[in-house]
Amino acid sequence: MCGIAGYWAPDRVDPGTASQLGNSMARAMKHRGPDHQNVWISQSDGIVLAHARLSIIDLSESANQPFVSPDGRYAIVYNGEVFNFPELRESLQNAGHVFHTGSDTEVVVQACAHWGVIEAIKRFIGMFAFALWDSRDKRLTLARDRIGVKPLYYGNQGGTFLFSSTLAAIERHPAFERRISAEALAAYFRYSYVPSPHSIFSGIAKLPPGHVFSIDRNMKSSLNCYWSGVDVAQAGLASPFTGTDSELIDGLEALARDAVRRSMISDVPLGCFLSGGIDSSLVAALMQAESCQAIRTFTVGFSDARYDESGYARKVAHHLECEHTDIICSTREALDLIPSLPEYYDEPFADSSQIPTLLLSQLTRRSVTVALSGDGGDELFAGYDRYYWIGKLENILSRWHPELRGSFTAILEALPRQMVFAALKALPFGSKLAPMVDGGYHLARMMKHANDFKYLYQTTPMTVCAYRDNSLLVNDAEPRSVMDEEVIRAAIPSLLHWMLYVDQTTYLPDDILQKLDRASMAFSLEARVPLLDHRLFEFAWRTPKHLKLHRGRGKIIMRELLARFIPSQLIERPKRGFSIPLADWLKSDLRAWGQSLIDSSTAKNDQFLHKADVIATWNNFLTGRADHTLTTVWNLLIYLQWRSRYSN
């Protein structure tokens, strides 16, 4: 795990200035790579590559980067791991290639030289982002892994092409123009993150997962997709597995074992994040099955019992005979992190589970350098409650005739909501009926918009962006997204499958994986996600629906596999998530912090916000006068905190 950065100014570069700028960009990423920082410069070509290394495989100096191929044609800066590099290395050796290090970086370079960049990447199993300079063809190529585990930003700023793992490194270059994108900001207030391919800054983009970007000395560029999630989804749905359930579980076990085994390749100590839930417990169980000694597991808990799952993790670790470490964090420890969040996240990012993830990463790094995580299981195998409810909606829509749906909707719309609930209050059993009636109104609204998948995604309870409020913004026009693509809607006609696909290509890389990468790298910890091996992604799309969702539960196939290692009674419980008592904190310990941001000159002078609405939203939240304002308030405060840092 590392940080990469660089720039290309084709009109040549001054070596002194280039060295200074390159080293400045590398230092901005030192938390990602504390073991070694270096710069490679081609003065005549105007290319500068910077690297910050966290040593994981081949700890020798010969594996440091930037790395130049033996023939001098290629130079690379590379972040991540290609887990099947031993097999690739053997194939290349059989083809006549000679290796001088034991690193996977050299394998990546030689593979690209031998097969070409795209054909080489198609052979990779892993998580990666890299920049490859071809001195013969005068071409710079950027590549990112299929799922989007590793970050990569890029953009042309006034004739200088910039790229990096972090926006912080790009900001070090004088060519960078600090202009906030109003569209990206609107998307942030909708989703609590800035979705790819956008960044918070105009002119700087995120390289989409599964893509290769290439640019020549005339600044002519191309963006090519080498792996398509929609193609995988369409192929899987068209050709589902037809074996028995037991055979499918066997297939999942074989793939998951191989993914975990590969993810355990390391020349430094490694361990596992363990919450005691299905995904992390499965990863821990498979790690222990592949290890000849007790693996290290790590859990962070909270003194507030409502949000503490450390006891569950402790029981799982005991059953697996792991060497377990947990820590109960005080409210104070969590609160102390919050004002520093912009230092860890380059863009506004308001998934509050970033706080326990940071605390867990900090704890884990005290003992190991690499940690395996269970992220991805929910998105691949329908683990969230929202998939269950969308599945129920699809079943209802398929059984109700359109005319009956129309009549049901018309009747409820004709009954004023406030009048109905006022009448319920007068009944002795009205409080018990109220949730059912509320559900009826919501169902009617969903039926009315049954063919508008984007509307359903954005309004269904428990979806990523339900109840978001963009009224704070002067300009709330969001950019087009995956949800607007008719090609994808045509390829994936089922609402449930479409929602899974949208989450896998937006929420997963831009929220879940961004959260994990920034939190772990803040403490120089490499986090690996074996459940997001692309072979498991492809397997998931061929898995029948009944092995994902059944009788109100998700991830059925993963539950069945986990039961081979851990008794069900240690695992089966309501899904809680990695949450914190955020609303309570904002009304007590964090109230002064929030008020200071609302009253700050940053808020008063921000050209993107309606000042009066900012104050009203905060006050309504504090007094409880408005529903569903917590997410909006948290988005607002995180943005103001980030903007304050950015302004300085």
Neighbours of 489 (CB within 10 A): 17
Q: Six-digit token pair at 99?
A: 């290796």
* Helix or strand holding residue 301 (H, E): strand 296-302
The angle that helices 495-502 and 229-238 make with each other, rounded to 10 degrees, is 150
Separation CA 9–CA 386 (nearest Å): 48
Sheet holding 370-372, edge to edge: 323-329, 296-302, 270-273, 370-372, 526-528
* Among the listed residues 629, 531, 606, 491, the one whose alpha carbon sits nearest the alpha carbon of residue 280: 531
Catalytic residue at 2? yes
Separation CA 275–CA 167 (nearest Å): 31
Q: Six-digit token pair at 514?
A: 């961004």
Neighbours of 155 (CB within 10 A): 19
Burial 397-424 (b: 16+ CB within 10 A, else e): beeeeeeebeebbeebeeeeeeebeeeb
Burial 604-634 (b: 16+ CB within 10 A, else e): eebebbeeeebeebbeebeeeeeeebebbbb
Catalytic residue among 2, 112, 322, 329: 2
User: Please, is 216 exposed, middle or buried when counting C-beta atoms within 10 Å of its C-beta (0-12, 13-18, 19+)?
Assistant: middle
Per-position DSSP letters for 446-469, written without gaps between them = HHHTTT-HHHHHHHSTTSTTTT--
Q: Six-digit token pair at 583?
A: 């609303």
* Among the listed residues 151, 594, 522, 591, the one whose alpha carbon sits nearest the alpha carbon of residue 359: 522
Burial 132-154 (b: 16+ CB within 10 A, else e): bbbbeebbbbbbbbbbbbbbbbb
* Helix or strand holding residue 405 (H, E): helix 402-414
Alpha helices in 415-522 (DSSP H): 417-425, 430-448, 453-459, 486-491, 495-502, 514-521
Q: Are strands 370-372 and 126-134 parallel, antiparallel or unpaired?
A: unpaired
> Do 154 and 15 form a contact (C-beta atoms < 8 A)?
no
Separation CA 214–CA 580 (nearest Å): 42
Neighbours of 602 (CB within 10 A): 20
Separation CA 314–CA 404 (nearest Å): 52
Q: State the catalytic residues.
A: 2
